[in-house]
Structure 1
Amino acid sequence: MKLTIQLFAGIAERLNTSQLFFEFDGDTPTASILKEQLSAAYPEAASQIRSSFLAVNQMYAPADTILRAEDELALIPPVSGGDGSSSPEYNKQDSPQTQEHRTEDGLFLITDAALSVEATTKLVITANHGATLTFVGTTREMTGDQRTIFLEYEAYVPMALSQMSAIGAEISERWPGVQTAISHRIGKVDVEEISVIIAVSSPHRSDCYDASRYAIEKLKQTVPIWKKEVWEDGSEWKGHQLGPWNPMN
């Protein structure tokens, strides 16, 4: 069975491609067996492949998921960063046009243009909500003794938007009435520039605080967006920093 697999972040750099055309060896293709075969076929990226999750049709797939040739497959390294590897040989071509992708309800945005705190916050302000809280994430210059020149973000856009929308739905279920909007930057983000905005509103302020914290932590766990730190003397995709990564928990 011939399978097409999308690659991102450090795995794409290590293998110098954003797409693999792979001949599956066997009669019952599952997510776990495919990862085993990919690890054997590409030993230079085996550790990254093993720590990744397979997405099937833009959903994280359990290990026993049966794969079909027509499925949209993507190998997802730990999100909120990549897999900790980099290669100077892999370079993406910058798009001459602004990329902007938004969910149908307008609440969730991925773009390579500068983000607007006012525009994102305006999406959640309503007449019956007395509290609005906006979280803004920016590029930090110094991490210990390491000086960051800029960050570079990459996203599996359709799945990222779907996961962001799911976060909004989870928040609405946990805190009824809370409205959520998330905007995330991709591409190059310089020091002090905004990479992410999360705006929440509710009738009362306590729910705003709780929902905002939940949104950023969930985004860093499940949304397929990766961050590369670029320094004066090198670069590195930053992986999940909270131990073993499982976006399905």
Structure 2
Amino acid sequence: MSTTAEAGAASITHSNASSSVLDPANFPQTKSSDSIYICLVYDPIDSQACLRFTRSPTAGANVLFLGTTRNNFDSRPVSRLSYSAYPSLAIKSLFAIAEDVQKKHGLEKIAIVHRLGEVKIEEESIAVSVSSGHRASGWRGAEEILERVKARAEIWKREWFADTGEVEEGVWRANKDRDAQGNVITKP
């Protein structure tokens, strides 16, 4: 990474502690280049660090999307979410998505940071930040990254509903069961 990119990536970095492949002590896990930064974290996402990484003097647009935990789903009260992943594959998938979308939309820089573990109501579970010469490619690129991450990345979501007395296991949910407008995707 360049010096500016290193500064942005360094401020995205967090630390933690525990045991196994998903042991928070083994995170953050990252993969980066001069123009792409991918990170899986257990700690809250530093959205400003994502913007610092993607900022560029030649970019006329910086787009930041933050996916947050809402307190409801299908009119049911949600108490919290938890994310699990296959980290090494998820990072490779996220990087491949970023490379492809970067080429397709002519994006300058991309940062994708995804939380693992428990994500409380109003906290961010994902940050997608992109920079581009103009806003149209930035908007389209950020949206495409998010949709591809939901469809392809080896990251799984578990949801707890407050109206079920907090079932210990929660409900595993597919990230791709809704489109960008929140409509249910019907399977053929």
- Could you tell me the TM-score, scaled by structure 1's length? 0.58
Q: Counterpart of 2:57 in 1: which secondary structure?
A: coil
**Unpaired runs of 5+ in structure 2?**
1-19, 178-184
Distance in structure 2 (CA, Å) of the matches to 1:193 and 1:237: 19
Amino acid at match of 1:204: H
Question: TM (normalized to structure 2)?
Answer: 0.75
228-237 or 107-116, which moves further after superposition?
Answer: 228-237
Structure 1 unmatched ranges of 5 or more: 1-91
How far off is 1:126 after superposition? 0.8
Q: Distance in 2 between matches of 1:128 and 1:222?
A: 31
> 2:149 & 2:120 partners in 1: Cα distance?
21
Residue 146 of structure 1 aligns with which residue? 76
Q: Which protein shows a greater Rg?
A: 1
Displaced runs of 4+ in structure 1, greater than 6 A? none
Cα distance per residue 1:141-170 (max 9 Å; x no partner): 012331111100001101111111111111
Corresponding position: 1:101 with 2:29? yes
Inter-partner Cα distance in structure 2 for 1:110 and 1:211: 20
For residue 221 of structure 1, the aligned residue among 139, 151, 171 is 151
Secondary structure at the aligned position of 2:25 is classed as coil
- Amino acid of the structure 2 residue aligned with 1:236: V
Does the C-alpha gap of structure 1 residues 96 and 176 become closer, same or farther in structure 2, counting only changes over 3 Å? closer
Distance 2:42 2:54 in 1: 22
Does residue 167 in structure 1 map to residue 84 in structure 2?
Answer: no
Task: State the percentage of identical aligned residues.
Answer: 24
Contact 2:24 2:42 in 1 (8 A): no
Cα RMSD of the aligned pairs, angstroms, is 2.1
Deviation at 1:97, TM superposition (A): 3.1
1:125–1:132 CA contact under 8 A, matched in 2 = yes
Looking at secondary structure, tell me which structure has more helix per residue. Answer: 2
